[in-house]
Amino acid sequence: MDGKDLTICKLGGSVITFKDKPLTPNIKAITGLAKALFKFDGKLVIIHGGGSFGHYMASRFGLGQSPAKTSPEAVAMTRYSMLELHLTVLRIFLDAGLTVYSVPLSGMMNQRLPSRQKMEALVNYTDTGLIPMTFGDVIVSRTGSYIVSGDQIARLLSKHLRPRRVLFVLDVDGIYQDPEKTTLLRELKIAKTTNLIFSKGKIDVTGGIERKVKEASRIANMGIDVSFVNGLVPQRLLDAAQGKNPIGTVLKGRKVAPLSNSR
Ligand code: IP8
């Protein structure tokens, strides 16, 4: 699969919700993102995070990223909270004129991993003018239940869809050199991603910004450019989607030889 004109956009939960107010979407921010993306003329796959919906419920009920026996209530409530957020995002995007089409991760699963065919089918949706939208999710497997982060989904989709670029939309300007966020890194080298020191988020069960950078460097290692932008300034998202270089952090994809068909 070659998604030369495809952009994958991960909307962080910290932008689309108020992370310290349980179950509270940031309607203004979601509307800003929708309006910006409406102006983007290209194929999009959108993923959103959990913020004060999924992370709040997952931490309240003790759900984590490794399969574990948990109460059915934990799974049901976490899923429900994600669907509530998902519906809010879908509604606002539809109202802004974006033809978003919901594809929950569970609909792409094949045992414990998303199936390659089902992920690749997302590109067929984009061919019909739809914008597939998925979200970090709670998965039930034979070995237990677990959370799959939207950042992880961004990496898995990148592997199979080979987008032109991946955008991580944050509530800050990009990746900083220091936990105090005094020095914004305009360009980040893959090799340097392991030296960064991050501040710890409160209710993030999937590893927050550190996890995001880790997934981003794996995407960049596939030869795909990754940008981190502040979604509270929506024009930056549009600029990044259009390949411009707004305030933010760029992680350049490693130069790789053209892909053969063996994958
Ligand atoms: O915010 C987490 O997705 P993320 C989803 O992308 C849940 O890490 C259910 C907590």
* Residue 134 Cβ contacting ligand 1 at under 6 Å: no
**What per-residue confidence (pLDDT) applies to 131?**
98
Task: Name the pLDDT band for 263 (thresholds 50, 70, 90).
Answer: very low
> What is d(CA 27, CA 43) in angstroms, rounded to the nearest whole number?
24
CATH number, domain of 22, equals 3.40.1160.10
The answer to whether residue 55 sits within a structural domain is yes
pLDDT value at residue 107: 80
Number of domains in the chain: 1
DSSP 8-state class, residue 17: B
Which domain, by its residues, includes 135? Answer: 3-251
Instruction: Determine the atom of ligand 1 nearest the C-alpha atom of 152.
Output: 6
CA-to-CA dists, residue 248 to 24, 153, 164, 165, angstroms: 26, 22, 18, 14
Q: Whose CA is nearest to atom 7 of ligand 1?
A: 54
Question: Ligand 1 mean position to 81 CA, how many Å?
Answer: 11
**151: CA distance to ligand 1 center in Å?**
8
CB 82 near ligand 1, within 6 Å: yes
Asked if residue 260 is part of any domain, the answer here is no
pLDDT in tens, 43-102: 999 999 999 999 999 999 999 999 999 999 999 999 999 999 999 999 999 999 999 999
Mutate which of 59, 78, 149 for ligand 1 pocket (most atoms within 8 A of beta carbon): 149
Q: Tell me, what amino acid is at 255?
A: K
Q: Can you read off the two tokens belonging to residue 204?
A: 């993030």
Distance from chain centroid for Cα 30 = 14
- Cβ neighbours of 70 (radius 10 Å): 19
pLDDT value at residue 114: 86
The pLDDT, as a whole number, for residue 262 is 47
The model's pLDDT over 114-132, given as tens digits with 9 standing for 90+, comes to 888 888 889 999 999 999 9
Task: Confirm whether 263 is domain-assigned.
Answer: no
| Separation between Cα atoms, residue 225 and residue 128, nearest integer Å | 25
Residue 108 near residue 119 (C-beta atoms within 8 A): yes
| Residues ≥6 apart with Cβ < 8 Å to 75 | 63, 138, 140, 145
Say if 258 falls within a structural domain.
Answer: no
Please name the residues in contact with 31: beta carbons below 8 A apart, sequence gap of 6 or more: 92, 96
Kind of pairing between the strands at 3-11 and 163-170: parallel
CB 32 within 8 A of CB 92: no
Lowest-confidence range among 150-164, 183-197, 241-255? 183-197
Q: Is the shortest distance between the CB of 205 and ligand 1 below 6 Å?
A: yes
Beta strands per DSSP E along 87-230? 100-102, 109-110, 113-114, 131-135, 137-141, 144-148, 163-170, 187-188, 225-230
Cα separation, 97 vs 43, whole angstroms: 15
Q: Which two tokens stand for residue 63?
A: 């759900």
State if residue 13 touches ligand 1 by the CB under 6 angstroms criterion.
Answer: yes
* pLDDT for position 255: 83
Helix (H) or strand (E) holding 103: none
Within a domain: 261? no
Q: Is residue 229 part of a domain?
A: yes
Cα 59 to averaged position of ligand 1 atoms, centre (Å): 11
- What are the tens digits of pLDDT across the range 159-212? 999 999 999 999 999 999 888 889 999 999 998 888 888 776 666 777 788 889
Report whether residue 17 contacts ligand 1, using a CB cutoff of 6 Å: no
| 152 within some domain | yes
Residues 6+ apart with CB under 8 A from 148: 65, 105, 136, 137, 138, 139
Greatest C-alpha distance within the chain: 48
Within a domain: 35? yes
